[in-house]
Structure 1
Amino acid sequence: MARDQIDMTPLQSRDELVAWIEAGVKPESEFRIGTEHEKTPFTLEGRQPVPYDGAKGIGALLEGMKLLLGWEPIMERGNIIGLYDVTGGGAISLEPGGQFELSGAPVENVHQTQSELMAHLAQVREIATPLGIGFLGLGMTPSWSRAQIPAMPKGRYKIMSNYMPKVGKYGLDMMFRTCTVQTNLDFSSEADMVKKLRVSLALQPIATALFANSPFTEGKPNGFLSFRSEIWRDTDNARSGMIPFAFEDGMGFERYVDYALDVPMYFVKRGEEYIDVSGSSFRDFFAGKNKILPGERPTLSDWANHLSTIFPEVRLKRYLEMRGADGVPWGRLPALPAFWVGLLYDNDSLDAAWDIVRHWTAPERQALRDDVPRFGFKSRIKDRYLFEIAKECLILSHAGLRRRGRIDHLGRDESRFLEPLERIIETGRSPAEEMLEKFNGPWKGSVEPAYQEYAF
């Protein structure tokens, strides 16, 4: 999540909501790749959560990053809560439990994603190490209870924290204990958006299986390979999931807008204040019928902010956001954009991927999504194991990246970033399964070694 949008033009018609999303359409020559990743800060001594306040807190970390990078601070009620590059580069923001997020700049190829990541890590280490802060690359905190984790001083999170327990079992776990890596990709037309949305929604469980590494809760195996993915199944089903309507005839920008209009809102932002309107629909707000703000009409900022509080497996904004993967150690982060770019930015691979998924029904897609957190590659759809489909998709992605032919200074194309995933397919085991083996073997039933082996 980058900054909250600021455009206070009142909205007159539904067409403007559609137009706002449609403005994302761009020619293929202008396609970019944006990668966002979250990591969990921990105290190097004692491996505890890092509070916001204090000389060695998250606030101090952000202040140090501000001085180092020269980026603009994002402030809320006197607290620094993020940073952004005014030249259009990346942004750094905080998730509710202090998870540290880099929203990368829109770049042209995965080599640049890798360079950006390496620079970010060097910068973060320079500031964090003297503060005694390390970062963990897992999909979920492996040892802490929710009660141990300090809340960050952001108004929107306070509203979400109050609302979450009303609508699902795991909302607070999602907020305070999980990390993800996601990639944001462009579309060249409405039809191109629909095709990419359908392919990536159907195949999101493959990313979940390839990146699954949240098998521990409070120091013990939780029975899942991606508990983070399981958490999303019972966080808030009015705003998450496999959005089956995307596969129906007539899908397009308008259909997504109609969906978003009915998704319950969290907040409306006015100046620095977050006004709690949780549970009310944008549709009523649009009609001037919000009980908290009677007669008031939403602005484009309200719309942009609302779209950022919808959490389907693939999210449509002015680009498509792949949301199925657990956070991972830094060496594996570029594999996520590489995987999706190879599948979605090469037309031959996109067509072939569509051929794989086009005959799946909504209940089959849903069953696959429901099974993957626990069973990973052993999940099935129709008469196939997910492992076989993952293998096929990796081959398609590899071919797509080779055809793209984006070469680095050593003459290598982007397919090299798939190597960590190819190793996973070779062994047939997800990262979580490997970690569980370590837990039952060399780690001697402790998750503590994860703070070394899976740290940034």
Structure 2
Amino acid sequence: MARDTTDFQPIEKLDELVTYLSAGSKPRDKWRIGTEHEKFPFYTDGNAPVPYGGDRGIRALLEGMQRTLGWDPIMDSGRIIGLVEPTGQGAISLEPGGQFELSGAPLETIHQTCREGNAHLAQVREIAEPLGIRFLGLGGSPKWTLAETPRMPKSRYEIMTRYMPKVGTKGLDMMYRTCTIQVNLDFSSEADMRRKMQVSLKLQPLSTALFANSPFTDGKPNGLQSWRGDIWRDTDNQRSGLLPFCFSPEFGFADYVEWALDVPMYFVIRDGVYYDMTHMTFRQFMDGAARNEVPDGLATMGDWANHLSTLFPDVRLKRFLEMRGADGGPWRRICALPAFWVGLLYDDEALDEAEAMTHDWTYDEVNAMRNSVPVEGIATVFRNRTLREVGREALAISRAGLKRRNRTNRDGFDETHFLSTLDEVVARGTTSAEEMLNAYHTRWGGSIEPVFMEYAY
């Protein structure tokens, strides 16, 4: 999750909220690729979860990373809960159950993204291995119950933990027991944002299917290929999901603002203290509803930025677009996810083709696909085709887009080879989750433990 911010500029009128989003528009030569990935830490002795405290806990891991990297600590009530590169080029943060997240720097190529991921994993291993810690690349925690899962001491998570059971059945599982790979991408204008938002919203269920990688819960198969995808079907649905208004041909920044204004808040920060605001919407907050509850209860741009970071649609709009559909996975997936979306969205011809492929897909059809994918994966049927076939078409568009981008590494290779792990899914017709389930029922002998060896970083 994003680092919480403070910006004390008061909000005086609604137009400022639209202007805030539109200020993210950038010329093409300024477009960047920001990749985030999460992973589950575990002790190699017994494949047990890693708590925050203690000589071999998450805090010790972060302190060791701080000494190694020289990054600035992110503190919450006197406790280290993350690190940020001093010039803002990347951060390490904690998800509620201790999931370790790298929020990567805004980079120009997928080659740089892969180098960044390699360097991060090498640095983490250097600190973690002496502590007996490794990391698991899955979309869902495969073994530990919710009660066994540690809880990180972040103030926003305490508020969310109290609130989630009030607004859905699976919010705590989302917080404590899932991991994702995401990519943040730029737009040049409102019209460009609209096109990218609509194409990527429609294709997000395909991304969930291609990256399906969470078939185990509580030490046994859960009947799903993407447990994480299923969790998002009932996690605070006021702030999650497909957003039907985004399918409108007139969709723009103002529509997203109007929606966001009427979603309940999680918190505001004043002098480092988090105030629970789950009982009011941002619109009510702007209208002065918290004047008697919060010191300086007037809404600021920092409050707005934090509120936007606590909305969870399948594609999230901030001053960039976040692709949020994929399960966490092994190292190759960390490079494949941004490659897939960059190929589709950062090349004009590819975006035209992706838009043509999806232009008449309706909200109801895409939502039905979204509901089927956690169980069926790439076998999900959409308009008399399986998502395996749709995926083959989308990957061809993405590959051509990456080829036209022609961003080569020192050896002269372009970015297309980063799609190979997804090509394999389509070629063999089975997802990573199905491969794991097959292993569980055969060579793993019905044990979950081998996953900690085969899917560890």
Please indicate, yes or no, whether the TM-score normalized by the shorter chain is above 0.5: yes
**Is contact 1:110–1:338 with CA below 8 Å preserved after alignment?**
yes
Q: Name the residue aligned to 1:234.
A: 234
> In the TM superposition, what whole-angstrom CA distance separates every residue of 1:301-346 from its partner, at most 9, and x where no partner exists?
1000000000000000000000000000112210000000000001
Whether 1:284 aligns to 2:290 is: no
Q: Name the residue aligned to 2:338.
A: 337
**Is contact 1:197–1:314 with CA below 8 Å preserved after alignment?**
yes
**Is contact 1:377–1:386 with CA below 8 Å preserved after alignment?**
yes
Cα distance in 1 for partners of 2:296, 2:416 equals 54
Superposed displacement of residue 294, structure 1: 9.0
Gap regions ≥5 residues in structure 2: none
**Is contact 2:350–2:397 with CA below 8 Å preserved after alignment?**
yes
Cα distance in 1 for partners of 2:165, 2:2 equals 25
Q: Name the residue aligned to 2:444.
A: 443
Q: Name the residue aligned to 1:430.
A: 431
Q: Which amino acid aligns with 1:252?
A: G
Q: Which amino acid aligns with 1:281?
A: T
**Is contact 1:138–1:329 with CA below 8 Å preserved after alignment?**
yes
Cα distance in 1 for partners of 2:282, 2:232 equals 22
Q: State TM-score, norm by structure 2.
A: 0.98
Q: Name the residue aligned to 1:352.
A: 353
Q: Name the residue aligned to 1:320.
A: 321
Cα distance in 1 for partners of 2:295, 2:154 equals 25
> In the TM superposition, what whole-angstrom CA distance separates every residue of 1:166-215 from its partner, at most 9, and x where no partner exists?
00000000000000000000000000000000000000011101110100
Superposed displacement of residue 295, structure 1: 7.9
Q: State TM-score, norm by structure 1.
A: 0.99
Q: Name the residue aligned to 2:413.
A: 412
Equivalence map 1:350-389=2 (5 Å): 350-389=351-390
Alignment identity in percent?
A: 59
Q: Which amino acid aligns with 1:343?
A: L
Superposed displacement of residue 362, structure 1: 1.2
Cα distance in 1 for partners of 2:148, 2:389 equals 41
Counterparts in 2 of 1:350 and 1:249: CA distance versus 1, 3 Å: closer
Instruction: Name segments (4+ residues, structure 1) moved above 4 Å.
Output: none
Cα distance in 1 for partners of 2:450, 2:152 equals 27
**Is contact 2:182–2:337 with CA below 8 Å preserved after alignment?**
yes
Cα distance in 2 for partners of 1:296, 1:147 equals 36
Q: Name the residue aligned to 1:105.
A: 105
**Is contact 1:288–1:294 with CA below 8 Å preserved after alignment?**
no
Equivalence map 1:243-262=2 (5 Å): 243-262=243-262
Superposed displacement of residue 2, structure 1: 3.2
Superposed displacement of residue 297, structure 1: 1.7
Q: What SS does structure 1 have at the residue aligned with 2:48? A: coil
Counterparts in 2 of 1:384 and 1:66: CA distance versus 1, 3 Å: same
Cα distance in 1 for partners of 2:3, 2:456 equals 27
Q: Name the residue aligned to 2:158.
A: 158
Superposed displacement of residue 387, structure 1: 1.2
Superposed displacement of residue 417, structure 1: 0.4
Q: Name the residue aligned to 2:397.
A: 396
Q: What SS does structure 1 have at the residue aligned with 2:153? A: coil
Cα distance in 2 for partners of 1:318, 1:169 equals 30
Cα distance in 2 for partners of 1:369, 1:361 equals 12
**Is contact 2:178–2:228 with CA below 8 Å preserved after alignment?**
yes
Q: Which amino acid aligns with 2:244?
A: P
Q: Which amino acid aligns with 1:340?
A: W
Q: Which amino acid aligns with 1:266?
A: Y
The farther-off stretch of 151-160 and 352-361 is 352-361
Cα distance in 2 for partners of 1:331, 1:403 equals 22
**Is contact 1:2–1:92 with CA below 8 Å preserved after alignment?**
no
How many correspondences in the alignment?
456
Cα distance in 1 for partners of 2:149, 2:296 equals 39
Q: Name the residue aligned to 2:168.
A: 168
Equivalence map 1:80-99=2 (5 Å): 80-99=80-99
**Is contact 2:270–2:295 with CA below 8 Å preserved after alignment?**
no
Cα distance in 2 for partners of 1:413, 1:250 equals 36
Q: What SS does structure 2 have at the residue aligned with 1:146? A: coil
Q: What SS does structure 1 have at the residue aligned with 2:36? A: strand
Cα distance in 2 for partners of 1:430, 1:28 equals 34
Q: What SS does structure 1 have at the residue aligned with 2:64? A: helix
Superposed displacement of residue 279, structure 1: 3.4
> In the TM superposition, what whole-angstrom CA distance separates every residue of 1:3-22 from its partner, at most 9, and x where no partner exists?
21121111101111111111
Cα distance in 2 for partners of 1:131, 1:78 equals 23
**Is contact 2:378–2:388 with CA below 8 Å preserved after alignment?**
yes
Q: Which amino acid aligns with 1:32?
A: R
**Is contact 1:288–1:295 with CA below 8 Å preserved after alignment?**
no
> In the TM superposition, what whole-angstrom CA distance separates every residue of 1:72-122 from its partner, at most 9, and x where no partner exists?
000111110000001232100000000000000000000000000111011
Gap regions ≥5 residues in structure 1: none
